[in-house]
Every structure is written in structure tokens, then in C-alpha cells.
Amino acid sequence: MKFTISEENHIKGVYHLQQQTGLVNTNALACEMQTKAASVTDMLKKLKLKKILQYEKYKGFKLTEMGKKIALSIIRKHRLWEYFLTVKLGFDWAKVHAIAEELEHISSEELIQKLDDFLGNPSFDPHGDPIPDSFGKIPTIKQYNLMQLPIKKKAIVSSVSNQSAQMLEMLKHYKIGIGTPIQITKHFLFDGSLEVKILKNTTCILSEQVAKNIFVYYE
Amino acid sequence: MKFTISEENHIKGVYHLQQQTGLVNTNALACEMQTKAASVTDMLKKLKLKKILQYEKYKGFKLTEMGKKIALSIIRKHRLWEYFLTVKLGFDWAKVHAIAEELEHISSEELIQKLDDFLGNPSFDPHGDPIPDSFGKIPTIKQYNLMQLPIKKKAIVSSVSNQSAQMLEMLKHYKIGIGTPIQITKHFLFDGSLEVKILKNTTCILSEQVAKNIFVYYE
DNA sequence: ATTTATTTTTAGATTTGTCTAAATTTATTT
DNA sequence: AAATAAATTTAGACAAATCTAAAAATAAAT
Ligand SMILES: [Mn+2]
Ligand SMILES: [Mn+2]
Ligand SMILES: [Mn+2]
Ligand SMILES: [Mn+2]
């Protein structure tokens, strides 16, 4: 089945909200979509008719299984494009969301499969969010950018977004790799650099430029 | 100024038609856009108001300078995406047009500049059509795929779309490079292979798989 | 120069997505 | 339990993009 861009955006909006709240209500979605409650109601009727939503008037709503599948395929596209934009085109990861918001609506299934392969089937987007596979299956752990890791919190390096030879050389020198325990001991505001403790013994300083390419998870 | 997808498609349609006919008429554009004459008239009024078109009722129309600039920026996006899809993602060049028809409407200027650099600022798309630069300037020569070159017609190799090591090794063996004179002497229908004369002396057989990656120009 | 045919435009309808304002339902207070 | 507040839906409007059918303008043919 085909969906309009507006329908796709609404489906994705419901998905994100129901991850947190279970049932979603009209005002919340209106707020998420930067639109008005009346417009949301109209859209809900349409999506219910297309069997994307379980929806009872005044009672809130959530996605059907089919709805979830569609949401995940849009999220998959969004995050793969974000990955492409940062890793291949060198975009700052703050800028990629808005562009991926448009790219996620390109319809070709073959395109997204080939893009996925071209990128090496990445599991996480530049913000550390998991990328669903073509069946909608989501990697479980949640990653955080090292710059966002709370001070003193113990974490594990889970991925590095810049895979250039220079970056890898630098990480090798610091003995940082996938699975390395890491902990921020100090955050210098002057240049954004971090003092980090690695493997519970070595301590070193990472520039913001390096740190923002490193992702970690914890718990 | 911002344009809708439909407006952009119409602007591009006018551009292509006026390349051949100078002034464009309503029915021709309706045919090109797979729509009806009445719909075209509505769109013309809107585009005239936005100063994209010079248009007098019943008299035909053509793009203003601004209209041309916009058309070229859309064509630039279209052809860069086509190049990306074939060279980076490995799409068959017959399939890329439909997908680029969607991708050309992604709005970010920065995206297209970075994509252009990532691709190595190519001058021609996979079909041999020239890619306008960011100022709208178009490379002059027209390229043809070697498979499309009329038999016996003398031509010059102008580009190769597959730049893999294997392909380059093969071309080196055949002594084929950019600027090499080439001429088809026979076309075997059984497997699509070509017998070609290179440099006016050597003759060799190129498989269809090789030949379809070679582009030439003539005159 | 009329008549006929073709092209183009207008008039009016339809679908999609949005809005405001009013009505209705549900939730919260007194 | 009644009154008030908040959330949600309905009713009615509008802009964008399309269509069909009819009218008007232009071109071609007799
Ligand atoms: Mn979007
Ligand atoms: Mn993201
Ligand atoms: Mn298009
Ligand atoms: Mn092309």
C-alpha cells in the first residue's frame, strides 16, 4: 500500500509517542507533528480506515501490527540516510535530521536495500539510535555519543562513526576499540575536550573532534 | 523561493521542451507531464505569477532567466543522484531515472554540494547527459553509451562509469582510455558483445558488460 | 471569407491536507 | 452530583492540484 508524506509522518509520530506512553492521545500527536488537534482527528480517521491504527473516538489510539511495520520501515530509511549523510558526505550530525526527514519518503525498496549494503549494514545511526533491519528488527542496546555521557558514568565503546585511517590510527594509539570500558573524568569547557579513563587505569585527553565520533552504551 | 514538487516538475518539463522548440505550447507540456491541458493552464498562471515563465494566453510560453536557473538546478540534482545510484549503489542505469525523479526534489543545497564533491564532481550522468555545475553551467559535448554507438561511426572515448580496479585493468589491457578513438565494426546479437577497432589498427571483442560502462562522443 | 477543426482557456467539481470556531464528550473540582 | 475545565470531535472554510465538460480563441480547409 502507498502512503502520502503526511500519512508517513503521522505514522512515525504515533510510533515514537506510543514507545513511551502505550496509548497516544490527540493533543500529544498534534504537538509532536506541529499541527492542530482537529487536523490530527482527520488524519486518524483516514489511517483507521487504512487499518494502520486501532482508534476509538475519545479513547486514544495506537498502531496496528501493520502500522508498526510501516513505521519501522520509515525509521529504517530515516536512520540509514542519516548514517549516509554523516559518514559518507561528512555532514555534522546536528544537521542530518532535517534532511533525512525528507529522504525517508523516497519510496524505492531496492534503493534502501542497496544503500544499506553500500553503508555496510550499520546498526546505529549517528545519534546512537538503532537502525531496524529490513524485517523491522531493532538492535537492542541504546548508544550515546561520548560527548553526552554523564561525567563519572561507566560505559562501553560500541561504535565509531568516522572510520577513516587517521581516526583508526588515533584510536589505536589511545588503545580505544569496540568494547573498551571508558569513563569521563573531566569535561573542559574551553575547547570541549574530555579527560577520560580507559580500561580503569590509563587516563588521556580526547579532543571534542575525536570524542563526538565515539559512541558508548551503559547498564 | 520555494517550489512544490509539482511546480518543479513542470519547470523541468518546460525546460526540456524549449530546448527543442523554443516556445512551448500547452498540449506539448500536458503530454510531457502526463496530465491534461486544463491542468497545465492552471500551473502556467501560477508560474507566471512567480515570474518563472513568460506566458501570454494562447501564445505559448518559455522560462524566464530565473526559471532557467531553477530548471538547471533541478536537472543538476537529478543527474547527480543518477550518478550516485549507478556508480556508488550499483544500480542498472535503466532503473535510476524513476528514483532520481523523486530525489531531485530534496531541497538542501548543502546536500547537493556535498554529494557532488563525494562523487568527484562528475560531468556526465550514467546516460551520458551533462551535469550542470552549481552555477548552472553545462559541459558542452554529448556522450553516448558505446552500446548505442551506430556501427562504423567514428567516436572518442569520453568516460567510463565503472572505475573499479578490475575494469581499469581490463581497459588498460585493451589500450582503451579517455580520448581513445574507437569504432564498432560488428555487433553480435547472441551475447550483445561488440567487435571494435581501436586507434585505427587493433581490433578486439568487448563483452556487453564492459561496453555498457564506456561512453563516447563524436563529431 | 466562411466553415470546420484544433488548441487553449474557463467554469465547476473533487481530493487531500490543513485551519478556526463551535459543539460534544470526558475528566476534574468543588 | 453539579459545575467547571480540558480534551476531542464536528462543521465549515480554504488552498493546492487535479479532472471533465463547455466555451472561446486560433489555425486550417474549403
Ligand atoms: Mn518526514
Ligand atoms: Mn537519528
Ligand atoms: Mn521529479
Ligand atoms: Mn539521466
CATH of the domain at B202: 2.30.30.90
Residues B91 and B56 in one domain: no
Residues A161 and A110 in one domain: no
User: What is the mean predicted confidence (pLDDT) over A47-67?
Assistant: 97
Chain B residue nearest residue A112, CA to CA: B89
Residues A131 and A168 in one domain: no
Q: Is residue B142's pLDDT more than 90?
A: no
A58-67, B13-22, B176-185, range with the lowest pLDDT: B176-185
Chain C, protein-covered positions (CB within 7 A): 7-12, 16-22, 25-26
Please count the structural domains in chain B.
3
Residues B32 and B17 in one domain: yes
3-class DSSP state of B210? helix
Q: Is residue A42's pLDDT more than 90?
A: yes
Confidence at B158, pLDDT banded by 50, 70, 90? confident
Give pLDDT, residue B160: 86
Ligand nearest to the CA of B94: 4
Query: In this structure, is residue A73 part of a structural domain?
Result: no
In which region does residue A111 sit, left (phi positive, over 0), alpha (psi from -120 to 50) or beta (all else)?
Answer: alpha
- Residue A89's CB is within 10 A of a number of other CB atoms, namely 16
Report the C-alpha gap between B24 and A12 in whole angstroms.
42
- The whole domain housing A30 covers 5-63
Query: In this structure, is residue B163 part of a structural domain?
Result: yes
Query: In this structure, is residue B76 part of a structural domain?
Result: no
Confidence at A10, pLDDT banded by 50, 70, 90? very high
Mutate: best of A83, A93, A102, A116, partner B, most B CBs <10 A: A102
Q: Is residue A84's pLDDT more than 80?
A: yes
Query: In this structure, is residue B70 part of a structural domain?
Result: no
Provide, as residue numbers in chain A, all residues whose Cβ is less than 8 Å from the Cβ of B6.
Answer: none
C-alpha cell at A156: 562501553
- In CATH, what number is assigned to the domain containing residue A21? 1.10.10.10
User: What is the mean predicted confidence (pLDDT) over B5-25?
Assistant: 96
**Which among B191, B186, B79 is positioned nearest to B210, based on CA atoms?**
B191
Query: In this structure, is residue B155 part of a structural domain?
Result: yes
| Domain edge (last residue) among A120, A139, A158 | A139
- Shortest Cα distance, chain A CAs vs residue B184, angstroms: 34
Length of chain B: 219
Residues B154 and B197 in one domain: yes
Query: In this structure, is residue A69 part of a structural domain?
Result: no
Q: What is the pTM of this model?
A: 0.83
Query: In this structure, is residue B160 part of a structural domain?
Result: yes
Confidence at A141, pLDDT banded by 50, 70, 90? confident
The C-alpha angle with vertex B188 and arms to B187 and B193, in degrees rounded to 5, equals 85
pLDDT tens digit sequence for B84-97: 999 899 998 788 99
Rounded distance from Cα A76 to ligand 2 centre (Å) = 10
Mean pLDDT of chain B, nearest integer: 93
For residues B152 and B161, the answer to whether their CB atoms sit within 8 Å is no
Residues A161 and A212 in one domain: yes
Q: Backbone phi, then psi, for A155, in 5-degree steps?
A: -145, 170
Query: In this structure, is residue A208 part of a structural domain?
Result: yes
Residues near B124 by beta carbon (within 8 Å), at least 6 away in sequence: B79, B130, B131, B139, B143, B158, B159, B215
β-strand partners of B14: none
Mutate: best of A82, A110, A116, A164, partner B, most B CBs <10 A: A110
Mean pLDDT of chain A, nearest integer: 93
